[in-house]
Amino acid sequence: MKPTEILVSEHNLIRQALESCSLAVEKLESGEKPPKEFFEKAVEFARTFSDKFHHHKEEYLMFGRLAQRKNGQIDAQIDSLRYQHDRGRDLIAEITQSLTRYAEGQDPQATIILEDMAAYVSLLRHHIHKEDHVFYPMVDKELTAADQKYLLDEFKKEASKDGGKIFENSQKLVQEMGALL
């Protein structure tokens, strides 16, 4: 298995979470208020799985290795992907800041959450498509067999943290998100 195949499989779980987030946006648009707990779980998933687990492997393991191979030729592409990761973090932070007032029934907060969640879903869907169909195929061509093995070994180390339960716990979290809607 290639490191990019692992990342694509992680994207599948992120897509499932985004489906629930998209449904929450639809509910907000129609005047319904999904429970605060849904958004708390969405934030937890975004921070633990998408960011600390998945994006960490891209930013701190794969991007650096690839930048060395390409001698700066793809720095702009890597910077663009990093920017999208940062923008996603910003949107999640904005959602988090609105949750208490949202739970208190303050209508402007529902609008803020709707806008931020819709932007987050759109951003990540575009980002994932770009990685799966443009960036990762390029990565597969550029990295040597030794690079691929190094990344696989490092990805396995990351997966073994937290007792090796990060993927399983994140799947459960996505199911809980769906059940709240």
Whole-number pLDDT of residue 93: 98
Question: In which element (H, E) is residue 56 found?
Answer: helix 56-56
| CATH number of the domain where residue 114 is located | 1.20.120.520
Whole-number pLDDT of residue 181: 97
Whole-number pLDDT of residue 69: 87
CA distances from 152 to 1, 4, 20, 96 (A): 8, 9, 30, 33
Whole-number pLDDT of residue 22: 99
Residue 181: strand, helix, or coil: coil
Question: In which element (H, E) is residue 13 found?
Answer: helix 3-29
Ranges in the chain, pLDDT < 70: none
CA distances from 109 to 63, 94, 120 (A): 36, 10, 16
| Tally of domains within the chain | 1
Task: Give the type of residue at 58.
Answer: E
Give buried/exposed letters for 129-139 (b at 16+ CB in 10 A, else e). Answer: eebeeebbeeb
Closest CA to 177 of 54, 1, 13, 31: 13
Q: How many CB atoms lie within 10 A of CB 143?
A: 21
Please tell me the distance from the alpha carbon of residue 7 to that of residue 19, in angstroms, as a whole number.
Answer: 18
Whole-number pLDDT of residue 161: 87
Question: In which element (H, E) is residue 129 found?
Answer: helix 107-130
Q: Considering the entire predicted model, what is its pTM?
A: 0.95
Whole-number pLDDT of residue 81: 98
Domain encompassing residue 161: 3-179
